[in-house]
Amino acid sequence: MKIATWNINSLRVRLPHVLQWLAIHQPDVLALQETKTEDRNFPVAEFAAAGYAVAFSGQPTYNGVALLSRQPMQVFANSIPGFPDPQKRVLGATAGDVAILNLYVPNGQSIDSDKYRYKLEWLSKLAAWIEALQQEHPRLILLGDFNIAPEDRDVYDPRAWQGQVLVSEPEREAFRRLLALGLNDSFRLHEAAGGHYSWWDYRAGGFRLNQGLRIDHILLSQPLAERSLAAFIDREPRGWERPSDHTPVIAELDF
């Protein structure tokens, strides 16, 4: 089973990129974030023609998440239970006996902002939910844009980024709390070295200079981690014309 996540930063703009990438890599599941697309405008027919069932939760201009699957899916969540939030950041569905939770974690803006406090509260509510969700779905995958670089090896210049949003200690502690619930960072199951990133700023030649952060993740519950064959970051789409500032992250499982 090949599963992938990609913040595409506007599905309207980058639908051709997504369809091209699907044709090349043919994942079983692809999670998309920042679709920025109202549900009535979601390109269901285009993905069906490519062989994918779809589930989506969107809004115009901001946020939005979607799941594409070669298997039929059953949606079980489009928000964190007990956390009223108009922002479309969560989509959970089952494909067979695997539960897939697609997340677009808030960015947080800056550590002295209300958006940062909202991010930490959002992550706290998420962790409490995941603890219960694993009891119902032992084969669980959390994936998406977490907007957290978990360690210094996930940051091109840790000293320059120290204390900033995306790398602050409270955010990293929230990420570690998810791992402590029994989840595994699929990429780190196979790659220990730093210098691997999934996001590069559009400005100042960030991609060309490899000045990035690893903030897009696929987390596996223990039964799935035991079946993990490979995990990698596909840098190629970041070099395409008018790319997203993120690139796909992929995990392969032995099913």
Query: With contact defined as beta carbons under 8 Å apart, do 49 and 66 qualify?
Result: no
CA 250 to chain centre: 10
Question: Would you call 195 helix, strand, or coil by DSSP?
Answer: coil
Distance separating alpha carbons of residues 37 and 75, to the nearest angstrom: 18
Strands (E), 24-105: 29-33, 53-57, 65-69, 74-77, 90-95, 98-104
Residue 104: active-site member: yes
From edge to edge, which strands make up the β-sheet containing 29-33? 53-57, 65-69, 29-33, 2-7, 249-253, 228-233
Q: Which of 28, 116, 145, 197 is catalytic?
A: 145
Q: How many helices (H) and strands (E) does the chain have?
A: 6, 14
Which one, of 167, 159, 173, lies nearest residue 197 by Cα? 167
Query: With contact defined as beta carbons under 8 Å apart, do 235 and 21 qualify?
Result: no
Residue in this structure with the two tokens 């120290």, named with its chain if needed: 162
Q: Which of 104, 116, 156, 197 is catalytic?
A: 104
Residues with catalytic roles: 104, 145
